[in-house]
Amino acid sequence: MQKVAVVVLGCSKNTVEAEYLLGVFRNKGFEITNNIEEADISIIHTCSFIKTAREESEKAIRDVLSVKKKNGLKVYVSGCLSQLLQNKMNSIFPEIDGYVGTGTLKELPQLIFDKEFDKSLLPPGGLNESKYRVLSSSLPSTYLKIAEGCWHKCSFCVIPYLRGNYESRSIKSLIDEAKLLVDNGIKELILIAQDTTSYGYDIYGAFVLDKLLSKLAKISELKWIRLLYAYPSSINDRLLAVFKEYKNICNYMDIPIQHISKDILSAMRRPLNTASIIEKIKNKLPDIILRTSIITGFPGENERDISELISFLQQGYFQYVGVFEYSNQKETDSSKLKKQIKNSVAIERKILIENAQYSVFKSQIDNIIGNNIEFIVENCSQRTSDDKYSITGRCYFQAPEIDGNVMLLSDNPLKLGEFYNGKIIDAKGYNIKVTIGEYNEFGK
C-alpha cells in the first residue's frame, strides 16, 4: 500500500483542506504517514497570503525535494502558491511531479492516479467539503470551514485572486459534518472562512450565519462553538441575538478590523464605520470578548493615524489584537499606492501597538482575578522535579494558538478533553494562571 504524507502550511482553512485531502487518499486505499522519509507520495499544501508565507512555502518545497533526492518519493504541490505562480511552477521547481492550485485541489488524488497534470490556467477555489476527513490532531477541538473565497476587494489582499468568489457550503452538509465530528469526540467547533459573517448570501440570498449557528448550537454534545473571521459590516442584529440565546456559543468573536483611521480604511477599501460597528457590538453584548487583527505601515499611514488607532484600542473593546506589518505584494492594488512605508517603520508601529494592547489586556485580566473560570484540558504532563502535574488548556475566551492558554499545577492528573473549573490567580504574558482548589472536576 502506498504511503502519502501531506505537509500543510498557512491558515486553518488550509489545515481543513489537507484533512479532507487525506480523507480522500485514505478512501482510495493509501496509507497516511506523517513521516516524509517513509512516504511514497508527498503533497505540500501551500500558502502565499503574504511575502513571508510564500517564502515559507518555497522552503518547504525545497526541503521535501531534498528528501526526494534520497528516496525518490513523488512530490506534488497544491494550494495558494501554485495558484499564484501557475505554470511558473515548472521553471521554479522543475523537479516536482505535478501541481494543482486551489480550485483543482479536489482532483489531485485522481490526477496522481492518472499521471495527467493539466498545464493550463488553474481556476481559483477550494476543497470545501468531503465525506472523508482525517483530523490532524487528537484534541477535542477542530475547525469547520463554512465557506471559501471572498467577495470583498480589500486593496492589500490577494485572497480573492487566489481563492475566487465567495462560496458557502449548505447548512445541511455543515450540520452533517458537525454531527460526525461530535460523534468522534469533538467538543469545540471553530467556524472559519475568509469572512464567516457573509455566510449564505450566495446560496440563500441573505447573510444566514445566525441560522447556521442556531442549528449547530442544538447539537447537544457540542460544548463550545467559536466564531472567527467576522467582517465588521456583515455583522447584523440577528447574529448578535444568537450569541445571547445559546450558552454553547462562546461569548467571543474575532473581527479583523485592520485599522481605524478613516483615511487608511478608505485606502484599504474597508468599512469606514468600523469604529461605530465595534461600539454597537459592545453595547449589545457588553461581556463579549473580542479579538482583532491590525495592519501597520499601510501606504500613506502617518503618526496621527497610529495615535488614533492606539486611542481607539485603549478604550478596551478588544482583549486580543494580532498586529502584522504591511506586506507589499505586486498582485494587489495597494502596491501601486504612493507613500509606501519603510518596513522598519511598520515594525516600530507594530511594537508600539502591541505594547499598548498588552496594558489593555492586563487591566482586563486584573479585573477578573479571583473569578472562577471553566477550561478545557489540552495537555497534562507530570513534572519530574516534584511529581506535580503541569496542565495547559483554554477557556471560552481563548482561541487555539493565538490567545494564550490556561495554565495550572495540580496534585492529580486531569483528563484531556474534559472541562474543569478553576479560580484565576494571575496572568503570565497572555497565559492565565488558575488554581483548581477544592474543585477537582467540573461542577462537583
Q: Which of 154, 174, 189, 227 binds ligand SF4 (CB under 6 A)?
A: 154
Q: Which stretch binds ligand SF4 (CB under 6 A): 18-26, 82-90, 156-164, 215-223?
A: 156-164
d(CA 35, CA 85): 27
Residue number, 89 or 268, with CB nearest to ligand SF4:
268
- Using DSSP, state whether 124 is helix, strand or coil: coil
Note whether 152 binds ligand SF4 by CB under 6 A.
Answer: yes
Pick between residue 178 and residue 228 the one whose CB is nearest to ligand SF4.
Answer: 228
Residue type at 223 in one-letter notation: K
Which parts of 166-195 interact with ligand SF4 (CB under 6 A)?
194-195
By CB under 6 A, tell whether 102 contacts ligand SF4: no
Nearest to 3 by CA among 29, 130, 16: 29
Q: Does 316 bind ligand SF4 (CB under 6 A)?
A: no
Report the alpha-carbon distance of residue 195 to residue 151 in Å, rounded: 9
Please, what is the end-to-end C-alpha distance for the chain in angstroms?
49
Q: Would you say 231 or 420 has its CB closer to ligand SF4?
A: 231
* CA-atom Rg of the chain in angstroms: 23
**Residue 360 binds ligand SF4 (CB under 6 A):** no
**Residue 159 binds ligand SF4, judged by CB under 6 A:** yes
Q: Which stretch binds ligand SF4 (CB under 6 A): 72-80, 137-145, 153-161, 183-191?
A: 153-161
**Contact 43/7 with Cβ under 8 angstroms?**
yes
Strands (E), 160-201: 167-168, 188-192
How many other C-beta atoms can be found within 10 angstroms of the C-beta atom of residue 233? 15
Number of H helices, E strands in the chain: 14, 18
Is residue 150 within the footprint of ligand SF4 (CB under 6 A)?
yes
- Residue from 44, 96, 157, 191 that binds ligand SF4 (CB under 6 A)? 157
Identity of the residue, 4 or 278, whose beta carbon is nearer to ligand SF4 in the bound complex: 278
Q: How far apart are CA 141 and CA 97, in angstroms?
A: 35
Cβ closest to ligand SF4, residue 157 vs residue 265: 157
Amino acid identity of residue 47, one-letter, is C
**160 is a site residue for ligand SF4 (CB under 6 A):** yes
Residues at the interface with ligand SF4 (CB under 6 A): 150, 152, 154, 157, 159-160, 194-195, 231
